[in-house]
Every structure is written in structure tokens, then in C-alpha cells.
């Protein structure tokens, strides 16, 4: 067994055994527990999670369909490397969805919904102060999910998450950068301030700025971590 961090425990996730295995492996890929380009040894995964090969094979098939792993016959299963083309496309799609969402929410947001967003921001601040990068990341994602859920479009958050999946992985290379978490929290506050003020244009501007900052920061990673990216 290699020295990577342990896989998320199956009891952290709901659903069938195959669903639990899928969620554990997906979280490990998104969190960079499995690094881009790394081979995934199915026998080791089975041993670590205490499952047979069948749910692991089913999980790998789903991850392959999502573009998170590459199954190479006679060679093995590898974690997909990053592609800047896919990252840019995902960012473009996510921005289109989020800008439309915040414009709607700025007009319709309720006091109770503002309370939920403010509570999320307070938790983000506490996690930042504690140096809990993983926890901060989870609440960051939750804030965006909350805003999109306030549109009452049931598939919107899922569509956005699918579009953002490759960006989500790549941003994990950057979040520990000095000052980035503080800047991210400030950007989140600006979005929530605009929503609370029922100002669609300010909400769109704050959201566009927030998302553009991430892509600007991700671009240099191709040169800083070339081993994690496919050649362009």
C-alpha cells in the first residue's frame, strides 16, 4: 500500500455499497488524495475499503464516464490528468449558470435565505482561522449550492457541479496559496452583500469577478505542475 492519505470511509456516504465506493473514490480524486496521472490499484482499493472487486469496478466505470479516470487496457486505471481546455470550458459553463442564478436570486431572496448564507460565511471564517482548508472548501461549495438552490430549479446545482468538476480538482492545487482563502472569503461576502441588497447587477459583477479570479490563478499551474496536466 502506498503512503497516500486514507480513502474516505464508506460510512460517510448514503446509498448502496456501489454508490458508497463511487463517492469515496470520487472524493479522493477531487481532493487530490489520488493525484492526476496516478495508477489506481483495484486490489489495494478493495483491501482498504473492505469490499469485493464488483463495486470497485462499477465505481471506476462511472468515474471513467465522468472523465475522472482513464481505463487503459492491459495497463490499468489511471486518474485523469488535468486539461486546461476542459477547465476553461467548465469555467465558461459554470459562469453562465451562476450569473443567471444570482440575477434571479437577487430579486427573490428571502430574509431566511440571507440568514443561511450569512451563517455559511461565519463558518467559512472560523474554518479559515483554524487553518482547515478542506472544511473551508466544503463550505465554499455549499455556499454556491445554496445560492443555486434558491432559484428553485432542481437540476441547476447538479449541472453546475458537473461543469465544474475538473476546475474543482485543479483548484485544490491552489487553495493553500498564501492569501487565497482570505480573498475567496471576501469575494463570497461581496456576493452575499449584493444578494441581500437585492441588486442583480452587483450580484452578477461580484460573481463574475469571483469566478474569473479562480481561472486567472489556475492558468499558471500548467507550468508549476506540468506532471499533472495533459500536453496542450
In sequence order, what DSSP letters do the residues of the chain get, joined into one string? --SSPPPPPGGGS-S-HHHHHHHHHHHHHHTTSSPTT-EE-HHHHHHHHT--HHHHHHHHHHHHHTTSEEEETTTEEEEPPB-HHHHHHHHHHHHHHHHHHHHHHHHH--HHHHHHHHHHHHHHHHHHHHT-HHHHHHHHHHHHHHHHHTTT-TTHHHHHHHHHHHHHHHHTTTTTSTTHHHHHHHHHHHHHHHHHTT-HHHHHHHHHHHHHHHHHHHTTHHHH-GGGB---
Percent of the chain scoring above 70 in pLDDT: 97
Q: What's the pLDDT tens digit per position in 25-63?
A: 999 998 889 999 999 999 999 999 999 999 999 999 999
CATH 1.20.120.530 correct for 84-227: yes
What is d(CA 209, CA 191) in angstroms, rounded to the nearest whole number? 10
What pLDDT, on the 0 to 100 scale, is given for residue 19?
A: 96
Grid cell 486514507 in the structure block, residue: 6
* pLDDT(170) > 50: yes
Q: What is the CATH number of domain 10-79?
A: 1.10.10.10
Q: What's the pLDDT tens digit per position in 188-224?
A: 999 999 999 999 999 999 999 999 888 888 888 888 8
What pLDDT, on the 0 to 100 scale, is given for residue 164?
A: 84
Range picked from 99-113, 127-141, 151-165 for highest mean pLDDT: 99-113
* pLDDT(2) > 60: no
Q: Is 13 left (phi over 0), alpha (psi -120 to 50) or beta?
A: beta
* Residue 212 vs residue 177, higher pLDDT: 212
Percent of the chain scoring above 90 in pLDDT: 69
* Residue 105 vs residue 30, higher pLDDT: 105
List the grid coordinates of 217: 490563478
What pLDDT, on the 0 to 100 scale, is given for residue 175?
A: 59
The answer to whether residues 169 and 87 touch, using CB atoms and an 8 Å cutoff, is no
What pLDDT, on the 0 to 100 scale, is given for residue 126?
A: 98
Grid cell 459554470 in the structure block, residue: 94
Fold equal for 10-79 and 84-227:
no
Average pLDDT of the chain is: 91
Q: Where exactly are the structural domains of the chain?
A: 10-79, 84-227
What pLDDT, on the 0 to 100 scale, is given for residue 217?
A: 82
| Angle 51-18-70 from CA coordinates, rounded to 5° | 95
The torsion angles phi and psi of 60, rounded to 5 degrees, stand at -65, -40
**Mean pLDDT value across residues 75-94:** 91
List the grid coordinates of 52: 469485493
What pLDDT, on the 0 to 100 scale, is given for residue 1?
A: 46
Q: How confident is the model at residue 149 (pLDDT cuts 50, 70, 90)?
A: very high
**Mean pLDDT value across residues 72-86:** 91
Amino acid at each position: 500500500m502506498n503512503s497516500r492519505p486514507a480513502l474516505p470511509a464508506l460510512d460517510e456516504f448514503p446509498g448502496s455499497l456501489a454508490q458508497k465506493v463511487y463517492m469515496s473514490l470520487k472524493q479522493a480524486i477531487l481532493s487530490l488524495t489520488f493525484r492526476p496521472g496516478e495508477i489506481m490499484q483495484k486490489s489495494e482499493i478493495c483491501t482498504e475499503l473492505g469490499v469485493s472487486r464488483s463495486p470497485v469496478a462499477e465505481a471506476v466505470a462511472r468515474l471513467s464516464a465522468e472523465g475522472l479516470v482513464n481505463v487503459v487496457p492491459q495497463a490499468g486505471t489511471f486518474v485523469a490528468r488535468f486539461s486546461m481546455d476542459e477547465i476553461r470550458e467548465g469555467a465558461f459553463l459554470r459562469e453562465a449558470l451562476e450569473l443567471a442564478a444570482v440575477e434571479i436570486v437577487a430579486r427573490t431572496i428571502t430574509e431566511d435565505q440571507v440568514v443561511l448564507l450569512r451563517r455559511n460565511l461565519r463558518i467559512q471564517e472560523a474554518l479559515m482561522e483554524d487553518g482547515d482548508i478542506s472544511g473551508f472548501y466544503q463550505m465554499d461549495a455549499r455556499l454556491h449550492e445554496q445560492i443555486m438552490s434558491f432559484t428553485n430549479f432542481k437540476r441547476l446545482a447538479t449541472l453546475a457541479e458537473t461543469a465544474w468538476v475538473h476546475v474543482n480538482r485543479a483548484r485544490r492545487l491552489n487553495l493553500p496559496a498564501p492569501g487565497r482563502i482570505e480573498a475567496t472569503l471576501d469575494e463570497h461576502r461581496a456576493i452575499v452583500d449584493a444578494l441581500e441588497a437585492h441588486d442583480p447587477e452587483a450580484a452578477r459583477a461580484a460573481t463574475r469577478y469571483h469566478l474569473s479570479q479562480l481561472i486567472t490563478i489556475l492558468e499558471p499551474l500548467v507550468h508549476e505542475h506540468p506532471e499533472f496536466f495533459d500536453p496542450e
